[in-house]
A and B are shown apart, each in its own frame.
Chain A
Amino acid sequence: MGDWANILYVVVVSTIRMSVPMILASVGAAFSVRAGIMALGCEGMMIAGAFFAVMGSFFTGSPWMGILFGITFGIIFSLLHGVLNIRYKVNQTLSGMSVNLLAAAVAPLILQIIWKSKGISPKVESFKKLDIGFLEEIPILGSILAEQNILFYVTLILVVVGYYYMFKTPQGLRMRMVGENPVAANTVGINVVGYKYLGVMLSGAFNGLAGAYLSLAQLDMYIDGMTAGRGYIAMVISTFGKNSPIGAMLGSLFFGFFDALQTIFQGGVIPSQIVRTLPYVLTMLVVVFGLKSARNPAGMGKHHDE
């Protein structure tokens, strides 16, 4: 009995740990998609977030400054995606891929220049578990909460605020309208270009934060390839969750659970590499079978002046 409780506890803790960055990334993807821009650049924005967050923390000694750096550079890379899409009408797949390629190239280059090391940064100040005081006394829940850092709570707040903004405010309605039908939105006087930029920048901010969580909360350094395709998975989760922040959160928890299985099967009979394929296999299954009822906004990739 004690064993099972322990395993359950480990599963829940690692599910949350693996889910938080996916929640942030997929909520970001949802904003991009809702504004009519394919969220294929998430991987790159996440890489930028993870790397520059470490750089920020390294130079200032504060993980909060690291977060700020991560978000800022997530937005900068999202703007590349945005400008290519909105201003220069580049094929969305190509512009997304170019954001990913560029971020994956820039991070190792700067890493090499600053720290003269290949693929791995030095350890920096990171986020520690939050002291929740007496709340820790609550059975089970207390010990699970005690494992979390401040970004866990920030993420929960962001999901609620994101949902409220997207579905309960006039601005959110306008953004969704831009994504659904840019021509009609333009006709009724909505600033189509402005909302598209807003959507893509929000996706940059969220993905930058997601990357920063990977490097400053899950770990305390940057490692090349640490995003490991999570940006692409986030895009799938967002569609799977009907491009709603709540749906994105639930979808991420589902994926996080499979990601967490790694920790449980560690050192077991099944080789670790095979266990690590689980989230990717699951993503493929979802892409193949799970997106039947899901749909993206009708105006995705369309421009108001065409």
Chain B
Amino acid sequence: MKSGKLINNRFLKSGSGSFTTSVMAFLLAIIVGGILIEIAGFSSLATYGAIFRGSLGSTKGIVLSLSQATPLLLTGLSFAIAFRVRIINTGAEGQVYIGAMAAALVGAYVNFLPGITHVAVSVLVGMIAGGMVGLFIGFLKIKFGASEVIVGIMLNEILILITAWLSTGPLMTPGSATAQTNPILETARLGRLVPRSQLTWALVLAVIIAFYLEWMIRKTTLGYEIQVIGSNLKAAKTAGINVPKIYLLTIFISGAIAGLGGAALSLGIHYRFIEGISTGFGFAGIPVAALAMYSPAGVVVSSFLFGALRAGAMTLNRTTSIPIEFVSVVQALVVVFVAAPMLIASIKKNLMKPFNGIRNKRESIKGGDA
């Protein structure tokens, strides 16, 4: 294959960065987060210690971390795969909502599907619903040149409002005091991996999808075309790649995965659709994907890191420690640091400066001796 020529390495690097950049960005975000904790009047070491114990210190903590990581893994994958063709899918939150609603409706009202097919069909419908929203965004981008960033955000607001209307109006559980749809049937529930936890088969599904996508990008023709478009759009067009087709396919996959995230919420946790079912998981996928440098396999790792951070923060004592909202700040900081490889590079240089000074001094002392 003549892949080397078409994939512009310099751009790939500036867009994706390196493993060190990722690690540095995460550490920097943790450090700045620590400073914030201190400013807020809490002890950063004690807080991080408690977060660590609460997330990775026990089996229960690890299970909690994994269940917190599941939606992040899905929305992270959703953002990452679209970004590989440089489409910024800001519409994930809306895709999560529509996926959750569609899956919950099939789960509640379709009652003739036997055994496991019910849950399978429910999940699939959730994914298709999310995928169709993605496809719509892609269509507007290709046909009218509409910015996917803006369209995505607008669709989020629209879909959140429409699903809210459905769950308070026509589809509301009769006699219910809160905005929710009818419960799904037992057969539509996503099975739990660990009893009495929120850890479901959705995690297994998500991990399989992650590794499949990684393989797809690296080893298949479609993946190759995705890489070429992502690194050099002009070259892709010259090489005769059907760019609109790949755009549509990628954004459909992206939307479908976010839709699966929604289905995992309604079929695995709430067993129905409730208003406000996603608390910003769509946007939380951005830092997850960025930290993984938009590699699907990397998203598995980064979503676990953020999942553990959330799980640990959830176990913090409400009165004596920093509120859980602090995790979102760390997430946002990760995006800032990952986005700026030049920033990381200059911090690296400045960090090394004092050491350079010492080395120079040593050398000058040596020189003096001689």
Q: Which residues of A contact B (CB under 8 A)?
A: 40, 80, 84, 87-91, 93-95, 97-98, 101-102, 104-106, 108-109, 111-113, 228-229, 232-233, 235-236, 271, 273-274, 276-277, 280-281, 283-284, 287-289, 291
Contacts and interface: CB of A to CB of B under 8 A. Distances in A.
B168 A273 contact: yes
A40 B149 contact: yes
B335 A94 contact: yes
B169 interface: yes
B339 interface: yes
Contact of B158 (A95, A113, A280, A287): A280
B185 interface: no
Contacts of B144: 288-289
A111 B342 CA distance: 33
29 contacts: A40-B149, A84-B339, A84-B343, A88-B343, A91-B339, A94-B339, A97-B88, A97-B90, A98-B335, A101-B331, A102-B332, A104-B283, A105-B329, A106-B332, A109-B36, A109-B326, A113-B40, A232-B149, A274-B165, A276-B161, A277-B158, A280-B154, A280-B158, A281-B158, A283-B150, A284-B140, A284-B146, A284-B158, A287-B151
Contacts of A87: 342
Given A105-B331, A112-B325, A273-B161, 8 more contacts: A88-B343, A104-B328, A109-B328, A232-B149, A280-B154, A280-B157, A280-B158, A289-B144
Nearest to B140: A288
**SS class of chain A's interface: helix, strand, loop or mixed?**
helix
A87 to B, nearest CB: 8
A112 B161 contact: no
Interface of B: 15, 36, 40, 88, 90, 140, 144, 146-147, 149-151, 153-158, 161-162, 164-165, 168-169, 280, 283, 286-287, 290, 322-323, 325-326, 328-329, 331-333, 335-336, 339-340, 342-343, 346
Given A90-B340, A232-B150, A280-B154, A113 B323 contact: yes
B154 A235 contact: no
B329 A109 contact: yes
Contacts of A284: 140, 146, 150-151, 154-155, 158
Contacts of B346: 88
Given A102-B332, A105-B325, A280-B154, A93 B88 contact: yes
A274 B162 CA distance: 6
Closest 3 CB pairs of A and B: A105-B328, A273-B165, A102-B332
Contacts of B286: 97, 101
Given A98-B336, A109-B328, A271-B169, A235 B150 contact: yes
A84 B158 CA distance: 31
A138 to B, nearest CB: 38
Contacts of B326: 109
A271 B168 CA distance: 10
Contacts of A276: 161
Contacts of B322: 113
Contacts of A40: 149
Given A101-B286, A274-B165, A287-B150, A95 B325 contact: no
Contacts of B343: 84, 88, 90
Given A277-B162, A284-B154, A93 B323 contact: no
